[in-house]
Amino acid sequence: MRAGAIHIEQLPYRADPAALFAAVAAEPWAMFLDSNAGRAAGGRWDIIVLAPRVTLRTVDAITEIRSGNRRTRSPADPLDLLRGALGPRVDAAGAAELGLPFVGGAVGWLGYDLGRRFERLALGTPLPEGAAQMALGIYDWALLVDHHARATYLVGRGDQADPRRQRLRRLSEGRVQRRTQGPAELPRRSFSPMGPVLSDMDEAGYARRFDVVQRYIRAGDCYQVNLARRWSVPVTGDPWTAYARLRQLNPAPFAAYLSTPGMRVLCASPERFLALRDGNVETRPIKGTAARHPDPAQDSALAAGLAASEKDRAENLMIVDLLRNDLGRCCETGSVRVPELFKVESYAGVHHLVSSVTGRLRSDADATTLLRACFPGGSITGAPKIRAMQIIDALEGVPRGVYCGCIGYIGYDGAMDSNIAIRTASVADGRLDFRAGGGLVADSDCAAEWAEIGLKARAMLQLAATFGGDPRMAPAAGRRAGSRRRDSR
């Protein structure tokens, strides 16, 4: 079937696209946007893309654009370059009738530190030389799996004899074999930590930083700062095997596995950053968390306590106000609304307090305009955003990379969906790095915040332990399953 300039072919339903993607996970620029792991939390669509027509990778102040054998380097704004690579908007009315979220276009990640290009920030921490801040592919074809309708679609544009399209079709049939050789492929041996899991701060170091944030809050510099802790462990083997385990340990509706040059990204995020479709914008900030409990009565009580918590509601509202302002920069005047406030959403291990902020995008704006106005997400910076980012930079002392950036897509039809890259790890240069943090406000308790961070890192620490990592690094916070938790970071 042809929908305007978009071709759509329905294929037999595949209940577990992860089993298909395993055959290509080691290939450069193979990407898997994975909601299947979060189906219990409402996940519907999985997206697999391979072999992009164009790639964009930003390092330092330069974006390298590759198309076939052609390579160009540009100092221009990365989002302007992305808009140019996508080209004019494509008619996808037929795809919209089927509810298809993606019709081909850009897929990949934007790192938190790309925010330095969009806001005037006086930051003292330099970016690591050669470290990427953005990696996106432009894909003409995609494989989409709809777990609600139990259908699979091959969607895209261009020549239907395109080898990329044919390969995705074979992949959907399970007829693509893993490549066993090639300079770009990591060894196909099981993932394995090669040493202990180390962190960049102990409890005393965190307490010192906590006190600094409190002084800033009392002085009126800020209202909230999201302070994160970093872990790192040397690893060997295939990161895909680690992700396959992560999606079992911590299922999430905005999960992803991205194979980008020099780095693999393993993401189990529960949080939507920005969605755009037919001019309608939505962001769904998470602020407030309570642990799940195996006893249904106690579990319901924890959820009810989260919903009634004045402190959690105040923190959530603080970020809602920030995001209303961000959306107001590119949405029609008077269109920004808050249709949901303090809704409790339940996931595998936690209840979250979630709000929804919506708006109507101005006619002269597009997805890249929206990204520039809101990036990075306010829920993982604090308020006011610029001052909070400056304090984060001074206290963390190491650029965040992909953590707290975003992962997602922008389609040829102008549609976008993206997450906040929390519960996210990267594998590069033989090391797995991950972080966890929490929003600090005036009445935060240092010991409670320290314990919360340990809980949020638990899945990643369990992942390392599963493959033989040092179990002594698992935080004591993990034993407090019945206690209240605030802030989803």
Of the residues 9, 27, 97, 271, only one is catalytic, namely 271
Residue pair 262/428 in contact (Cβ under 8 Å)? The answer is yes
Task: Tell me the β-bridge partners of 9.
Answer: 154
pLDDT of the residue at 128:
83
Spell 51-62 as b/e; 16+ CB within 10 A means b.
bbbbbbbbbeee
Q: What is the pLDDT of residues 52-66, one digit of tens each?
A: 999 999 998 899 999
- Token couple for 76: 């221009």
For 224, residues 6+ apart whose C-beta sits below 8 A from its C-beta are: 217, 315, 318, 319, 382, 383, 388, 439, 440, 441
State the Cα torsion 308-311-316-321 to the nearest 10°. Answer: 120
Distances (CA, A) of 455 to 196, 291, 448, 476: 19, 9, 11, 8
Of 86, 140, 123, the residue nearest 366 (C-alpha) = 86
Q: What is the pLDDT of residues 359-368, one digit of tens each?
A: 999 999 999 9
- The answer, yes or no, to whether the previous bond of 78 is cis (omega within 30 of 0) is no
Q: Residues in the chain, how many? A: 489
- Token couple for 487: 């802030």
C-alpha to C-alpha distance for 300 and 254, rounded to whole angstroms? 24
Which residue has tokens 């010192």? Answer: 208
Task: Tell me the β-bridge partners of 264.
Answer: 259, 427
Distances (CA, A) of 88 to 5, 27, 76, 374: 12, 29, 19, 23
Which residue has tokens 């963390």? Answer: 396
**Residue 383, amino acid:** A
* 3-class DSSP assignment, residue 485: strand
Residue pair 212/219 in contact (Cβ under 8 Å)? The answer is no
Angle of the 458-466 helix axis to the 239-249 helix axis, nearest 10: 130
Asked about 173 being catalytic, the answer comes back as: no
The domain over range 2-171+191-485 is classified in CATH as 3.60.120.10? yes
pLDDT of the residue at 489:
40
Asked about 340 being catalytic, the answer comes back as: no
**Residue 269, amino acid:** S
Residue pair 225/382 in contact (Cβ under 8 Å)? The answer is yes
Spell 239-258 as b/e; 16+ CB within 10 A means b.
bbbbbbbbbebbbbbbbbbb
C-alpha to C-alpha distance for 486 and 484, rounded to whole angstroms? 7
Distances (CA, A) of 157 to 83, 165, 237, 258, 417: 18, 9, 36, 22, 20
- Token couple for 424: 């996210």
Of the residues 287, 345, 452, 456, only one is catalytic, namely 287
Residue 82 CB: number of other CB atoms within 10 A? 25
C-alpha to C-alpha distance for 470 and 250, rounded to whole angstroms? 20
Residue 69 CB: number of other CB atoms within 10 A? 5
Which residue has tokens 């996808």? Answer: 92
Question: What does each of the 489 residues of the chain score in pLDDT, given as a tens digit?
Answer: 444 489 999 999 988 899 999 999 999 999 999 996 555 555 789 999 999 999 999 998 899 999 999 999 999 999 999 999 999 999 888 888 889 999 999 999 999 999 988 887 877 788 888 889 999 999 999 999 999 899 999 999 988 889 999 999 999 998 886 654 344 444 456 789 898 999 999 999 999 999 999 999 999 999 999 999 999 999 999 999 999 999 988 889 999 999 999 999 999 999 999 999 999 999 999 988 888 888 999 999 999 999 998 888 988 999 999 999 999 999 999 999 999 999 998 877 778 889 999 999 999 999 999 999 999 999 999 999 999 999 999 999 999 999 999 999 999 999 999 999 999 999 999 999 999 998 999 989 999 889 888 888 888 998 988 887 664 444 433 333 333 333 334
pLDDT of the residue at 352:
83
Sequence ranges of the domains in the chain: 2-171+191-485
For 408, residues 6+ apart whose C-beta sits below 8 A from its C-beta are: 33, 107, 254, 273, 274, 416, 417, 418, 419
Of 459, 71, 58, the residue nearest 260 (C-alpha) = 58
pLDDT of the residue at 41:
52
